[in-house]
């Protein structure tokens, strides 16, 4: 019975948090651009509006894939709250992205297809880093289970500083923020119209938007994992981390996929690998 | 109820330049700059008819682009509204009697709000778009009754 209530609370609270964070994001972005900015509840207005629009789909499978994207994200967040297997959460997150890509590929629109291809390339870029992060956490704590990871007697960041840097780097790709917003963009419509979400409209687009909020909460929970020992440190770290994302979003221009792939595999994966070797020697060999 | 109220708080626009001299287009783009900051009303220029609620048209319609304008309008999901910006889009302007033009935007799509002027000021454009956003709520109500309202309101 208790599990059902926790699940229900997670499913309700997570999008509220995600939506408010998105709203604050938009407000801060506006202030940085010397604008007044939309109200903080604006993402909710957008979502409600999308749900009250007419449903137009090019092919019916689009609805299924948009729905799967949302469901997989919800499942990943709920699994994190229940402190289950980290590796499995990562795979489910990958399934969610795959559903979105398949949804975009289900139509013949060139914009939607190019967006899907770019999304595939960004999955190719960030997935090795995420896997490296989880393997490194395994080396330090000896378990993939979040329950056991939380029992580790010091902050994970002390052992995994470079992994955290690499993860913050990947976070920009995952949140589709400016230097890496090449699959879908909130700002540049000249290039790809709307990239991966071009062919989704009305309530179906609303489902994807909702899925993004769950995804955002899950990614911030990953940040929390590095500072799990102390709740105040963790919240401060999450806020600083997200603020830096907003700053980077505002000061950088969009890169091409080639540069993104090169940079992520050399810099971010390099950082992760160095840290991986370090913790392997420290915990497995000594 | 809540869902219907949200309609007027986030009007996403798509802008189509029919046959304009670019005077109105420059004013529309000026409206979207940080100086006027329309995002505070939730207005976003999405550039994709499938995401848009309001179609902003500038310039008079001719035989070549009438089909394009109609297609963009048809791709937008209901409830939707059309705003005609400038004298040409409202009535055809100085091109009204020309052999190569059909007239204003209302000869092809049902226009809800007319913003006159050559070119209209950004404040006037903003007010026009917000008026169209108010109409969306009414249109949603009529949608529920089973009829989709396409009545031009002048």
Q: What are the residue ranges in chain A where pLDDT is below 50? A: none
Question: Cα(A179)–Cα(A185) distance, rounded to whole angstroms?
Answer: 10
Do the Cβ atoms of A50 and A202 come closer than 8 Å? Answer: yes
Q: What is the ipTM of this complex?
A: 0.85
Q: Could you give the strand order of the β-sheet that contains B12-17, starting from the edge strand earlier in sequence? A: B44-45, B12-17, B54-58, B81-85, B113-115
> What are the backbone angles phi and psi of residue B3, rounded to the nearest 5°?
-65, -40
Q: Which residues fall within 8 angstroms of residue A144, CB to CB, at 6 or more apart?
A: A85, A86, A87, A134, A137, A138
Q: Which pLDDT belongs to residue B102?
A: 87
Q: Do B37 and A35 touch (CB under 8 A)?
A: yes
Contact B6 A205 (CB under 8 A): no
- Rounded to 5 degrees, what angle do the CA atoms B127, B132, B137 make? 130
**Could you read off the pLDDT of B82-104 as tens digits, one per residue?**
999 989 888 888 888 888 888 88
Tokens of A20: 């408010």
Contact status of A199 with chain B (Cβ, < 8 Å) = yes
For residue A158, the model assigns a pLDDT of: 83
Across residues B147-151, what is the average pLDDT? 48
- Does the CB of B141 have a partner CB in chain A at under 8 Å? no
Query: Which residues in chain B touch residue A52, judged by CB atoms under 8 angstroms apart?
Result: 3-4, 6-7, 79, 140
A243: Cβ contacts below 8 Å, ≥ 6 apart: A28
**At a CB cut-off of 8 Å and minimum separation 6, what does A16 contact?**
none
Mean per-residue pLDDT for B47-52?
87
Confidence at B153, pLDDT banded by 50, 70, 90: very low
Nearest-by-CA chain B residue for A33: B34
Nearest to A49 among B6, B34, B78 (CB): B6
Contact state of B79 with A46 under an 8 Å Cβ cutoff: no
Residue B85 Ramachandran class (φ > 0 left, ψ -120 to 50 alpha, else beta) = beta
Across the interface, of B10, B34, B45, the residue whose CB is closest to A49 is B10
Tokens 């749900």 belong to residue: A51
Residue appearing with tokens 């992760």: A272
Q: Find the domain containing A185 and state its range.
A: 2-285
Give the nearest chain A residue to B10 (CA atoms): A46
Residues near A8 by Cβ (< 8 Å), separated by ≥ 6? none
Answer whether A191 touches B (CB < 8 Å): no
Mean residue pLDDT across chain B: 85
Q: Can you tell me the distance from the alpha carbon of B93 to that of B35, in angstroms, rounded to the nearest whole number?
A: 29
Within 8 A of A200 by CB-CB distance, chain B residues are 50
Question: How many Å lie between the alpha carbon of A51 and the closest alpha carbon of chain B?
Answer: 7
Packing angle between helix A203-226 and helix A42-51, nearest 10 degrees?
140
Position B144 scores a pLDDT of: 65
A34 reaches B (C-beta below 8 A): yes
The pLDDT of residue B55: 92
Q: B9–A193: do the CB atoms touch at under 8 Å? A: no
Q: Is A37 on the interface with B (CB under 8 A)?
A: yes
Q: What pLDDT digit, counting tens, does each position of B60-81 carry?
A: 898 888 999 999 998 888 888 9
Cα–Cα distance for residue pair A156/A136, rounded to 1 Å: 10
Dist. CA A264–CA B54, nearest whole Å: 39
Tally the domains of chain A: 1
Q: How far is A66 from chain B (nearest CA, A)?
A: 15
- Whether A198 contacts A43, CB under 8 Å: no
Within 10 A of A43 (CB to CB), how many other CB atoms are there?
25
Distance of alpha carbon B70 from alpha carbon B50, whole angstroms: 14
Q: How many angstroms separate the CA atoms of A282 and B106, rounded?
A: 74
Q: Domains of chain B (ranges plus CATH)?
A: 1-153 (3.40.50.12280)
- CA–CA gap between residue A206 and residue A44 (Å, rounded): 10
Is the pLDDT at B37 greater than 90? The verdict is: no
């Amino acid at each position: 019975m208790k599990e059902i209530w926790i699940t229900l609370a997670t499913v309700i609270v997570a999008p509220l948090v995600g939506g408010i964070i998105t709203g604050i994001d938009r407000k801060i972005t506006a202030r940085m651009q010397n604008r007044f900015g939309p109200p903080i509840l604006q993402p909710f207005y957008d979502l409600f509006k999308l749900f009250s629009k007419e449903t137009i789909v090019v092919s019916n499978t689009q609805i299924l894939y948009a729905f799967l994207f949302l469901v997989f994200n919800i499942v990943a967040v709920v699994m994190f709250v229940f402190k289950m297997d980290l590796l499995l959460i990562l795979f489910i997150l990958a399934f969610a992205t795959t559903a979105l890509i398949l949804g975009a590929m289900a139509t013949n629109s060139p914009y939607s297809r190019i967006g899907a291809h770019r999304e595939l390339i960004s999955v190719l870029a960030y997935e090795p880093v995420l896997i490296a992060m989880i393997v490194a956490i395994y080396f330090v704590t000896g378990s993939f289970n979040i329950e056991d990871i939380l029992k580790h007697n010091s902050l994970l960041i002390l052992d995994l500083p470079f992994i955290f840097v690499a993860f913050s780097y990947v976070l920009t790709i995952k949140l589709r923020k400016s230097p890496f917003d090449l699959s879908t963009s909130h700002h540049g419509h000249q290039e790809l119209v709307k990239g991966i979400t071009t062919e989704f409209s009305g309530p179906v687009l609303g489902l994807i938007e909702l899925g993004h909020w769950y995804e955002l909460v899950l990614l911030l929970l990953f940040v929390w994992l590095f500072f799990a020992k102390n709740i105040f440190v963790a919240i401060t770290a999450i806020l600083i981390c997200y603020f830096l994302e907003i700053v980077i979003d505002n000061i950088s221009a969009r890169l091409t996929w080639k540069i993104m792939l090169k940079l992520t595999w050399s810099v971010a994966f390099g950082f992760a690998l160095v840290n991986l070797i370090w913790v392997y020697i420290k915990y497995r060999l000594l | 109820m809540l869902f219907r109220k949200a309609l007027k708080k986030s009007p996403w626009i798509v802008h189509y330049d029919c046959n304009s001299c670019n005077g109105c287009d420059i004013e529309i783009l000026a409206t979207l700059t940080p100086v006027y900051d329309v995002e505070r009303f939730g207005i976003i220029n999405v550039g994709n008819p499938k995401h848009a609620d309001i179609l902003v048209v500038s310039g008079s319609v001719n035989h070549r682009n009438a089909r394009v304008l109609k297609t963009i309008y048809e791709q937008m999901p209901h409830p939707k509204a059309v705003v005609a910006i400038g004298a040409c889009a409202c009535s055809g302007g100085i091109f009204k009697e020309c052999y190569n033009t059909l007239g204003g935007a209302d000869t092809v799509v049902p226009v809800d709000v007319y913003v006159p002027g050559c070119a209209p000021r950004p404040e006037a454009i903003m007010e026009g778009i917000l008026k169209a956003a108010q109409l969306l709520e009414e249109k949603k109500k009529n949608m529920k009754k089973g009829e989709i309202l396409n009545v031009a309101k002048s």
